[in-house]
Amino acid sequence: MLPDKEDAGVGGGPTSPDVEDPSVGLFREYLRLRTVHPQPDYVAALRFLDRMAAELGLPMKKIEVCLGSVVSIMTWQGTNPNLKSVLLNSHTDVVPVYQEHWKYDAFSAFKDEEGNIYGRGSQDMKCVTIQYIQAVRRLKAEGRKMLRTVHLMFVPDEEVGGHKGMETFVAHPEFQKLNIGFALDEGLANPKNAFTVFYGERNPWWITIHCPGSPGHGSRFVENTAAEKLRQVINSFLDFREMEKHRLNTSQCFTLGDVTTVNMTMVKGGVAYNVIPAEMDVSFDLRIPPTVNLQEFEKVIQRWCKEAGDDVTYDFAQKHMNQNMTSTKESDPWWSAFSQACRELEITLEKEIFPAATDSRFIRAVGIPAIGFSPMNQTPILLHDHNEYLNERVFLKGIDVYTKLIPALANVAATPDEA
């Protein structure tokens, strides 16, 4: 059955072979916008979001956080705007593609016979953006009112190093004015029937170790070379990597987010085959769970450098120290509302620490509880991968999920600190 005329565009209904659900059509339209790095078309995204705000009858505020990077915020005011608000966060940019590895044009939003919609951003995270919008559209069409104000925020530059869009905006005065009490952000697909929910994130440390040494001719056994120190450093880091990999592979209690990953990503040094270099560098990407004592872990790195030899030093290109985690206790009013809504939908939740990094870490860092959640089950994890896709049935089910979650969160009663 097609949606009634007055509900056109609300979505969530069954799909006919001949008539596409309006929400799916909107999703595919958004996927075709080339908001891809290194030159994302943010102008097209802002034009699209302006249209959505007009259709929803919501005011839109735009804040340029840095040159060419605009944070857009739609606001659905609650009946008690003095209470802390609920934030629905998503980002507009997507990572680059290697088109030769894709079955279809990565920006064509091609839908195959099984209803799989291929496109960069189909999982990360343009699907969630449209699901937010369509859930709000449906709730407004039903005449629903929320106790708390709901903000839909669309952030640029999440997919670049440092997440500079959100990182800059959380320090902006306009962010403080939002008076956020709880935030939803992106999660990951789950290949099983369950849905994954993330209550914390690992800290990215991008570190370069500098190994100076004695130079000389390539024909001699020069002592105290940079390469010897480099080897010792590499062995220390990669031995630790194997230990963490073993912990992950031998325990049913651990997920990837519970262990520290270490990957050697760059090596630099040398000028010629017959010249022993005076310095060599090696760089690593580390992702450290918030449960690890970060100060103590840095002392371990210092010891590894000392053991490698004299004058071995290090510096960080990125070093996050955020150990905030969102409560998942039933006594917490936000988690209680979230989990109860999921139970009513007969959704099974698997709680994890996010293995990579999202904008949620900046939200948690300023003391706001945030949950990472993308309603994509029975779906392979394909974010940043070739042939990223999402099935239309899973996408439409996600609108149903948010239609339940948004009012559950936006109608959380005033907490004692708000009374």
Domain 203-288+291-319 has CATH 3.30.360.10: no
Dihedral of the alpha carbons of 327, 328, 334, 340, in degrees to the nearest 10 = 180
**pTM: predicted TM-score of the whole model, two decimal places:** 0.90
Q: How much is the pLDDT for 160?
A: 84
pLDDT of 40: 96
Check residue 18 and give its pLDDT.
66
Give the span between the Cα atoms of 397 and 338, in whole angstroms.
Answer: 17
Could you report the per-residue pLDDT of 287-300, keeping only the tens digit for each? 999 999 999 999 99
Q: Quickly state the pLDDT bin for 219 (edges 50, 70, 90).
A: very high
Average pLDDT of 164-188? 94
CA 23 to CA 138: how far, in whole Å?
11
Domain with CATH 3.30.70.360 in the chain: 203-288+291-319
State whether residue 404 is helix, strand or coil.
helix
Rounded CA-CA distance 232/242 in Å is: 15
What does the pLDDT look like over 17-34, one tens digit per residue? 568 999 999 999 999 999
Facing residues of 111 across strands? 117
How much is the pLDDT for 253? 73
More confident residue, 2 or 62: 62
CATH of region 5-201+325-418, choose from 3.40.630.10, 3.30.70.260, 3.30.70.60, 3.40.50.300: 3.40.630.10
The boundaries of every CATH 3.40.630.10 domain in the chain are 5-201+325-418
Enzyme catalytic residues: 93, 158
318's tokens: 């990125």
Average pLDDT taken over every residue of the chain: 94
Amino acid letter at 49? Answer: L
